[in-house]
Amino acid sequence: MDFQLTDDQRALRAGVRELLVRRFGRERLRAAVGPGGGGSAGRRAVGGLDRALWRELGEAGFFALRLPEERGGVGLGLPEAVLAFEEAGRALLPGPLVATHLAAGEVPGAATGTCVVAAVDGSLVEWLDEADVVRGDVGGAVALRSVDPLTPLHRVPRAAPPDPVAALLTAAEQLGSAAWTCALAVQHARTREQFGQPIGAFQAVKHLCSEMLVRVEVARAAVYAAAVTGDPLDIAAARLLADEAAERGARDCLQVHGGMGFTWESDVHLHLKRAWSRARRGEGAAAAEEALAEDLLTSAARSGA
């Protein structure tokens, strides 16, 4: 047993992070979201998908990561895909990443990023109007005015059957977002001063930050383990913990930022809104909890206790 990242996995993570910082750094994120000053910024229409970036992701192997080498892919596995998606979640990278990744090898151009693929996930479709190919039954799709400014959404009447790999990659994005909001909160707590000292010296703030980290580390262990085993129940557990880490992490990060956290200009709300939106993918928490409850009965029976 060596349940730690290998050197190659570390290098891959660093590579994806470097690419995303360079190609989708904070300025790009803010440009995509729109300005913070007056008016009705919060109700802005969502910007389009950056196709040049999409192709660059394709060239870097983001979509073809798990495709066998003989089929033109990178030939890596779920653990590596999880590390890449964690970075995407951290950078708040927009677009139908999971759908396009899952389409690699099946939809021409998906692997290379020349084709944008959207798919029904749960009873929602992200990026429907921007997609070149749409998978799943989108008959009767109705546009929502998406709460997440970087994720256009449609609702569909017929939910797609759940896909555990999609759920795992979503959990990886949630993990990345949770790790980032924790880091952002800590950074703010170290530098913002009130009452003559950094607010991070106040225990109430300190303890919020500690709890954020605890949720991140517990979720990380669950997500990475699910990537190694590929077991649907491990994935169900991972998604519950990663959703919790991302949603609560973003809220606590907002709290640590005070009034600044409530502004359009801060990035915190973007993480919270995306976390909310990701948590609606797949079957939702209820189904994951039910599956894990059922497992308690069957695994107890299996062990013959």
Partner 1 sequence: MDLSYSAEDEEFRARLRKWLGEVLPGLPAKPSADDWPGRRAYDLGWQRLLYDAGYAGLHWSVDAGGRGATPTRHLIFLEETEKAGAPYVGANFVGLLHAGPTIAAEGSARQRARWLPPVLRGEEVWCQGFSEPDAGSDLASLRTRAWRDGDDYVVSGSKIWTSHAEVADWCELLVRTDAQAPKHRGITWLAMPMDAPGITVRPLRTLAGSAEFAEVFLDEVRVPVANRVGEENDGWRVTMVTLSFERGTAFVGEVVACRRVLGELAREARKNGRWDDVPLRRRLGRLNAEFRALWRLTQWNVSESERGGGVPGVGGSVFKLRYSQARQELYDAAAEVLGPEALDLGREWTVDRLSSLSYTIAAGTSQIQRNIVAERILGLPKGR
How far apart are CB 281 and partner 1 at their closest, in Å? 17
Shorter beta-carbon distance to partner 1: residue 265 or 295:
295
Residue tagged 């106040």 (tokens): 202
3-state secondary structure of 265: coil
Is the Cβ of residue 2 or residue 70 nearer to partner 1 in the bound state? 2
Q: Which residues pair with 198 in a beta bridge?
A: 193
- Chain residues binding partner 1 by CB under 8 A are 1-6, 9, 79, 186, 189-190, 197-198, 200-203, 205-207, 209-211, 213-214, 217-222, 224-225, 227-229, 233-234, 236-238, 240-241, 286, 288-297, 299-300, 303, 305
- The three-class DSSP label of residue 122 is coil
Bridge partners (DSSP) of residue 117 are 133
Q: How far is the CB of 188 from partner 1 (least distance, A)?
A: 11
* Minimum distance from residue 133 beta carbon to partner 1 (Å): 32
Residue tagged 């084709």 (tokens): 115
Cα 6 off chain centre by: 23
Nearer residue to partner 1 within complex by CB, 202 or 264: 202
State the nearest-atom distance from the C-beta of 302 to partner 1, in Å: 10
* Beta carbon nearer to partner 1, 124 or 222: 222
Compute the least distance from the CB of residue 234 to partner 1, in Å.
7
Please give the angle made by the CA atoms of 167, 173 and 175, to the nearest 5 degrees. Answer: 100
Query: Whose Cβ is closer to partner 1: residue 41's or residue 225's?
Result: 225
Task: Return the exposure string of 120-153: e unless at least 16 CB atoms fall within 10 Å of the residue's CB, then b.
Answer: bbbbbbbbbebbebbbbebeebeeeebebbbbbb
